[in-house]
């Protein structure tokens, strides 16, 4: 069989060109043109869904992240459609190459944000923060029950839905409560259901910020409940006045303590009908594994903690000391 040498050479040249141009482009881009402008710190951009590759390249250029749109576009064309560009919020650091920037967007390595819900916040406070977080989307369509959200740090990205984050908090509380309930050592006569545990844990959470005290305070409340004594917890009075919508902003008065309410444990015997806040894991553990104690009273001691007493006489002594400390402060 005769080979047309002229045609063979023409085809070889064409093949070499077709293969060589992308390889040369890739070599040139990776070693020269993919250098990016210098900037002093991280730059954040948001690539919205449906944005074209040209618009993305232009956006990166205008933000001084890359030098020329065509640098980014050629790299994208060489890897498309196996590696599409993914929408989201991105942060690019100083001296990051254009090739690295392209790979970051193709891999969807977006900015991960954090939302921390402190222990003892009310549902109203959580919803306020979610509504004020501008990078989230959507409206909250269903208000959760008080105390039903787990205080924790939650990860989210730009454009996440507010209601979906709220739902994650609900699921997290339900799962954590069920897990702790399965390993409880509390008195089933007092704490008959996980829901009741949630109510008492919310009161313990608001009574102290010292982890070592929570089980002790829970033990005191258990003793009072067994004896039919009112809990006489100031945080329940505050909730009776505000319903968790806003801070009270002042000290409680005698009139406040006498205000009739299903949440005022100075006026009712037993627990309020619902939690007064969202308790954290440690408060839940304290209620489901309370300390064994004979104490029936506790009062602030001026150091951030509390003094505990078995008798009313001891308690009145500590109350007197607490009042003296307050008078010295004023």
Tell me the per-residue pLDDT of 34-75, one tens digit each, with 9 for 90 and over: 455 555 678 999 999 999 999 999 999 999 999 889 989 999
Give residue 132's pLDDT band: very low, low, confident or very high (50, 70, 90).
very high
Token pair in block for residue 18: 């077709």
> What total number of domains does the chain contain?
3
The residue among 174, 207, 225 that closes a domain is 174
Q: 81 and 125, same structural domain?
A: no
Q: 212 and 141, same structural domain?
A: no
Residue 23 lies in a domain: no
Q: 266 and 294, same structural domain?
A: yes
The answer to whether the CB of 66 falls within 8 A of the CB of 72 is yes
> Pairing state of beta strands 43-47 and 88-92?
antiparallel
Q: 227 and 296, same structural domain?
A: yes
Asked if omega into 81 is within 30° of 0 (cis), the reply is yes
> How many angstroms separate the Cα of 107 from the Cα of each of 84, 87, 164?
9, 10, 24
The answer to whether the CB of 155 falls within 8 A of the CB of 113 is yes
Residue 20 lies in a domain: no
CB-based contacts of 8-14 (< 8 A; 24+ apart in sequence): none
Q: 238 and 219, same structural domain?
A: yes
Question: Could you tell me which residues are beta bridge partners of residue 115?
Answer: 154
Record the pTM.
Answer: 0.83
Q: 219 and 151, same structural domain?
A: no
Q: 304 and 217, same structural domain?
A: yes
The residue among 79, 111, 143 that closes a domain is 111
Residue 154 lies in a domain: yes
Count of other CB atoms within 10 angstroms of residue 55: 13
Residue 282 lies in a domain: yes
Report pLDDT for 141: 94
Residue 137 lies in a domain: yes
Which residue, among 171, 196, 170, has the nearest Cα to 184 in the 3D structure? Answer: 196
Domain extent at residue 59: 34-111
Count of other CB atoms within 10 angstroms of residue 224: 20
Residue 56 lies in a domain: yes
The CATH number covering residue 64 comes to: 3.30.1490.480
Tell me the pLDDT tens digit for each residue of 173-202.
Answer: 999 999 999 999 877 788 999 999 999 999
Residue 79 lies in a domain: yes
Three-class secondary structure of residue 327 per DSSP: helix
Residue 10 lies in a domain: no
Q: 302 and 202, same structural domain?
A: yes
Token pair in block for residue 154: 């939650």
**Exposed, middle or buried: residue 192 (CB in 10 Å: 0-12, 13-18, 19+)?**
exposed
- How far apart, in whole angstroms, are the C-alpha atoms of residue 116 and residue 164? 16
């Amino acid at each position: 069989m005769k080979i047309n040498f002229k045609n063979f050479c023409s085809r070889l040249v064409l093949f070499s060109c077709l293969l060589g141009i992308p390889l040369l482009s890739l070599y040139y881009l990776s070693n020269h043109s993919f250098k990016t402008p210098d900037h002093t710190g991280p730059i954040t951009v948001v690539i919205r869904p449906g944005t074209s590759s040209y618009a993305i390249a232009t956006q990166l250029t205008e933000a001084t992240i890359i030098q020329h749109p065509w640098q980014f576009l050629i790299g994208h064309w060489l890897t498309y459609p196996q590696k599409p560009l993914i929408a989201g919020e991105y942060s690019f650091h100083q001296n990051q190459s254009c090739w690295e920037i392209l790979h970051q967007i193709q891999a969807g390595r977006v900015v991960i944000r954090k939302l921390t819900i402190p222990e003892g916040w009310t549902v109203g406070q959580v919803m306020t923060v979610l509504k004020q977080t501008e990078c989230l989307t959507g409206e909250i369509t269903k208000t959760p029950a008080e105390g039903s959200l787990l205080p924790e740090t939650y990860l989210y990205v730009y454009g996440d839905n507010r209601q979906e984050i709220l739902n994650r908090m609900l699921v997290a509380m339900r799962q954590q409560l069920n897990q702790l309930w399965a390993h409880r050592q509390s008195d089933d006569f007092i704490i008959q259901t996980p829901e009741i545990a949630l109510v008492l844990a919310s009161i313990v959470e608001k009574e102290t910020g010292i982890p070592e005290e929570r089980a002790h305070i829970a033990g005191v409340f258990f003793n009072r409940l067994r004896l039919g004594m009112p809990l006489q917890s100031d945080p329940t009075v505050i909730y009776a006045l505000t319903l968790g919508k806003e801070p009270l902003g002042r000290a409680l008065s005698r009139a406040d303590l006498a205000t009739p309410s299903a949440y005022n444990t100075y006026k009712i015997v037993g627990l309020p009908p619902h939690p007064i806040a969202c308790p954290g894991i440690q408060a839940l553990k304290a209620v489901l594994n309370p300390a064994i104690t004979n104490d029936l009273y506790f009062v602030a001691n001026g150091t951030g903690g509390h003094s505990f007493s078995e008798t009313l006489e001891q308690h009145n002594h500590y109350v007197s000391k607490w009042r003296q400390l307050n008078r010295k402060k004023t």
